[in-house]
Amino acid sequence: MWAGTQREASFLMYKRTAPRDYADLGDREENSDLLEDTMGQETTNPSWKLSLPHVLVASIVPILFGYHLGVVNEPLESIALDLGFTGNTMAEGMVVSTCLAGAFGGCLLSGWVADEVGRRRTFQLCALPMIIGAAISAMTRTLFGMLLGRFLVGTGLGLGPTVASLYVAEVSPASVRGTYGSFIQIATCLGILSSLLIGIPVKEIAGWWRVCFWMSIIPAAILAVAMMFCAESPHWLYKKGRSAEAEVEFEKLLGGLHVRTAMAELSKADRGDDTDTVKFSDLFYGRHFKVVFIGSALFFLQQLSGINAVFYFSSAVFKSLGISPNLGNGFIGIANLMGSLIASPLMDKVGRKLLLLLSFLGMAIAMIIQVAAASPYVTDPGAMYLSVGGMLLPKSEGIFESCFTVKSETYMCSFVLTFALGAGPVPALLLPEIFPNRIRAKAMAVCMTVHWVVNFFVGLLFLRLLEVLGRQLLYSVLATDCLIAVAFVKKNVVETKGRSLQEIEIALLPAE
């Protein structure tokens, strides 16, 4: 009882301090004793339990992202048969890439929307086109209807992941921000795995692919409703001059004893910035250019690795190898989820940069081995062994075909596993950390736009390039991309684990 009264008194004490006084509080020597008295109670990290429910609700967005990423993987053949474009690889690519084109459009608006209406309302806005688009795709009888529905879903996906990354970074305590950031990748994996599992009956039940689209409406509706009960980002509120409301939200997310410090850090980082005059042009020159370039390059290299081609077309690839798509996709989904679960506790222990380096290096090695396996100078048994990096199984009559199946599945799983350890979860976490508060939403929109543009062309052209270039040359390009990514990360990426967003901003941003 006494402890609760003391906590309430502390909360009332910081609330009596006017918002404009936080900056002065950090500068005036005469206030140092007051700060020590208050911050002495804040030596422990804020409880992760307060912010966890808000992060979990935000994680519905990457679940939807992953689900729509994989929803046409297994049913694509049935969709083509029912809608009359069987055998048309360009039309199949359009079913995938039209969603990405919509995401490109939504992403262009995401920074402006997130800054104008706030993070919570942006979540709710992104759910609307996902619900409408999924319903159109589920009911359509034509290719045009499918493309329209996919485009609308993509618009929501363009808005959602950007604000999800922003929101998770802004509401999470520094001590667990890496772990919470990895929830985005874990949720994406769960979405992909869900789409693959729900798509299993598509061969046995006519029209089951329509059920696959209807199912996606459920989490989108839950997102729209649950966000009504979540905290608004205090960083956005402070940026809008609503400091009193930002204090209230910090109380919900961190606890009353940590509000004073959080507000003082915001004031210190934003001191001297004119938050109302940020334009997109400001991101491409001057003091902000470097961090925006690093973020855009990370997403460019991530998408050019070809990882999403696995999620889009793995069923077609497995079928061409005589492998059960259901079995192969199951292994891929499990590998993706396992890698993300392993990465989650490592984010705040070994750091973001090391995970990125090891992940891109592992992907490069997996791809180089596959290039060797595709060589005409390697015999079929040799190609089989190379395709899984030397994991040999005994060759004997009657089991060669099953060995080939296991090797091919294991190769794809190793590539996906190494991706999920770092290259998948880290960029979406790292970028909101390195962007200053005043440009964070718009900078994320620019970087996510790069993500969707490359993703679009990978989805549209992968099958065609595989036909024209062949496996060896195409995989060589993808392996080179991963090696370039290793060099880029080593030279340009800074470690951010355990540091507040304001500390990172002050360390990275050159003086004006």
Per-residue pLDDT at 411: 57
Report if residue 14 sits inside a domain. Answer: no
User: Could you tell me the CA-to-CA distances from 119 to 130, 169, 224, 351 in Å, in that order?
Assistant: 17, 12, 12, 27
Q: Residue 41 falls within a domain, yes or no?
A: no
CATH number for the domain harbouring residue 284: 1.20.1250.20
Whether 354 is in a domain gets the answer: yes
Residue 198 one-letter amino acid = I
Among residues 312, 339, 342, 344, the alpha carbon closest in space to that of 325 is found at 312
Give the per-residue pLDDT at 380: 52
Rounded Cα–Cα distance for residues 378 and 346 (Å)? 38
* CB count in 10 Å sphere of residue 39: 14
CA–CA separation, 8 and 400 (whole Å): 71
Structure tokens at 147: 């493309």
* Cα 325 to Cα 212: distance, rounded to the nearest angstrom: 17
- Contact call for residues 41 and 210 (beta carbons, < 8 A): no
Helix, strand and coil content of the chain, in percent to the nearest 5, comes to: 80, 0, 20
What is the DSSP-derived secondary structure letter of residue 435? S
Domain assignment present for 191: yes
Q: How many domains does the chain have?
A: 1
Classify the phi-psi angles of 255: left when phi > 0, otherwise alpha if psi is within -120 to 50, otherwise beta. left
Q: Report the Cα–Cα distance between both ends of the chain, in Å, rounded.
A: 50
Domain coverage including residue 158 = 48-508
- Cα 42 from Cα 227, distance rounded (Å): 29
Sign of CA dihedral 303, 309, 311, 312: positive
Q: Are 141 and 83 in contact (CB under 8 A)?
A: yes
Query: Two tokens at 149?
Result: 């529905």
215 neighbors 135 (Cβ within 8 angstroms):
no
Per-residue pLDDT of the chain (512 residues; tens, 9 = 90+): 444 444 444 433 334 344 444 444 444 433 444 344 444 444 578 888 899 999 999 999 999 998 998 898 888 889 999 998 888 878 887 888 888 889 888 988 898 899 899 999 999 999 999 999 999 999 999 999 999 999 999 999 999 988 998 999 899 998 888 888 889 888 988 998 898 889 889 888 989 999 999 999 999 999 999 999 999 999 999 988 899 999 999 999 998 888 888 888 877 766 545 445 566 677 887 778 888 999 999 999 999 988 877 777 776 667 766 667 777 777 777 888 888 889 888 888 888 999 999 999 999 998 888 777 666 655 554 444 444 333 222 333 333 333 334 444 555 678 888 998 999 889 988 888 888 878 888 888 889 889 888 888 887 788 788 888 887 888 899 999 999 999 999 999 988 887 777 777 777 766 55
Residue 324's φ and ψ, nearest 5 degrees, are: -65, 120
Give the pLDDT of residue 410. Answer: 56
CA distance 215 to 194: 10
Write out the two tokens for 109: 């608006």
Number of C-beta neighbours around residue 56 at 10 A: 14
Q: Which two tokens stand for residue 419?
A: 């991706």
As to burial, measured by CB atoms within 10 angstroms (0-12 exposed, 13-18 middle, 19+ buried), residue 392 is exposed
* Whether this model's pTM surpasses 0.85: no
Alpha helices in 59-118, H assignment, sequence order: 60-70, 76-83, 89-117
> 490 in a domain, yes or no?
yes
pLDDT for 36: 43
Spatial CA neighbour of 264 closest among 23, 45, 42: 23
22 within some domain? no
> Is residue 16 in some structural domain?
no
Structure tokens at 160: 């959602």
Buried b (16+ CB within 10 A) or exposed e, 459-487: bbebbebbeeeeeeebbbebbebbbbbbe
CA distance linking residue 3 with residue 397, whole number of Å: 74
Position 244 in a domain? yes
- Please report how many Cα atoms fall inside a 13 Å half-sphere around the Cα of residue 294, on the Cβ side: 23
